[in-house]
Chains A and B, each alone.
Chain A
Amino acid sequence: MKFIRPKKSARQGDSFVFRMTLGEKELLLTTLKMYPMLDSKYHRLSRDPKATTKAEQEWLVEAMEQQQQEHKKRLGQLLADNQRFFRDDSGTLALTLTSEQMEWMLRVLNEIRVGSWARLGCPDPDAIRPAKMGAGQARFAASMELSGYFQSILLEAFS
């Protein structure tokens, strides 16, 4: 997958075009379908239990659950949109995203990355060896690396 160019659109404002192979498209969609990956209780409001109340921590969990539901709904719409990916004039597969859609996808991919890492037991990434793992764990190692790969491409387009 490669960032090609920003595109001006009167209807949608700034948008960005990414060119990719069919294999990359399949990997991107397969990775996105793994969402949500992170337990809504993953984050703590404070390291000091006296700094915040139980109700404030519960509110954080509720906010996280609500966000996951919204992202999941939007992800469903994206996956159902057959026009999202198209063949450009040269016949190459391309994906167009607005900056707002990129921002959203970046967050979703990062949750998949962090969630995959958490399911691997939060190891040092340099110590992850998929070839020595069982199929289930290797799948999380792959989704962690793939989500990071797609995040890097989106971040390159932002910069």
Chain B
Amino acid sequence: MSKSGAITAPPETEKKEKTDTKGSPDHGYLVICWNDPVNLMEYVTHVFQTVFGWPKAKARQHMMQVHQAGKSLLARETFEKAEHYVHQLQSYHLHATMERDE
């Protein structure tokens, strides 16, 4: 992601989200946002807030995880919902994909 920012810890929310849906066959797809050097950090935070309705602090935590770890798991969903989110994120031109939860 372009432009540097303050370093924060990886999102604690991700572990909870994983636990909430773990083992559910209906939620076998992961929505992942990957790092790229061109999308502005504040823009990525703004898109996460807009698409997922997250508060700014949570959106920023996920943005920082993308920036520092190279990717962030944003949601574990059904195929249809994961596809919807990926379409939404890509309409903002973030580098997002859906992957099978192996």
Q: Quick one: which of B67-102 are within 8 Å of A by CB? A: 83, 86-87, 90-93, 97-100
Residues of A contacting B38 in the complex (Cβ-Cβ under 8 angstroms):
113-114, 117, 122, 125, 144
Q: Is the CB of B39 within 8 A of A155?
A: no
Q: Is the CB of B43 within 8 A of A155?
A: yes
Interface residues of B toward A: which range? 20 to 34
Q: Does B57 contact A (CB under 8 A)?
A: no
Q: Does A107 contact B (CB under 8 A)?
A: yes
Q: Is the CB of B87 within 8 A of A60?
A: yes
Q: Is the CB of B97 within 8 A of A45?
A: yes
In the assembled complex, the Cα of A50 lies from the Cα of B90 at a distance in Å of 20
What sequence of 0s and 1s flags, for each residue 50-65 of chain B, a beta carbon within 8 Å of any chain A beta carbon? 1000000000000000
Residues of B contacting A132 in the complex (Cβ-Cβ under 8 angstroms):
none
Q: Is the CB of A46 within 8 A of B37?
A: no
Q: Is the CB of B98 within 8 A of A46?
A: yes
Interface residues of A toward B: which range? 20 to 34
In the assembled complex, the Cα of A47 lies from the Cα of B96 at a distance in Å of 10
Q: Does B27 contact A (CB under 8 A)?
A: no
In the assembled complex, the Cα of A43 lies from the Cα of B43 at a distance in Å of 18
Report which of A51, A67, A117, A159 forms a contact with B100, defined as CB distance below 8 A.
A51
In the assembled complex, the Cα of A109 lies from the Cα of B91 at a distance in Å of 12
With A124-B37, A155-B42, A155-B46 known to touch, is A60 a contact of B98 (CB < 8 Å)? no
Residues of B contacting A114 in the complex (Cβ-Cβ under 8 angstroms):
38-39, 93
Q: Is the CB of A45 within 8 A of B46?
A: no
Q: Is the CB of B92 within 8 A of A47?
A: no
Report which of B2, B46, B92, B97 forms a contact with A46, defined as CB distance below 8 A.
B97
Q: Is the CB of B98 within 8 A of A110?
A: no
Q: Does A89 contact B (CB under 8 A)?
A: no
Q: Is the CB of B46 within 8 A of A51?
A: no
Closest residue on chain A to residue B49 by CB atoms: A158
* Residue among B39, B43, B83, B98 with the highest chain A CB neighbour number at 10 A: B43
9 contacts between A and B (CB under 8 A): A42-B93, A44-B97, A47-B97, A52-B98, A63-B91, A106-B46, A107-B91, A110-B39, A114-B93
4 further interface pairs, Cβ-Cβ under 8 Å (given A51-B98, A155-B40): A42-B93, A45-B97, A60-B90, A158-B46
Q: Which 8 A-B pairs have the closest CB atoms?
A: A117-B38, A43-B90, A114-B93, A155-B42, A51-B100, A46-B97, A47-B97, A110-B93
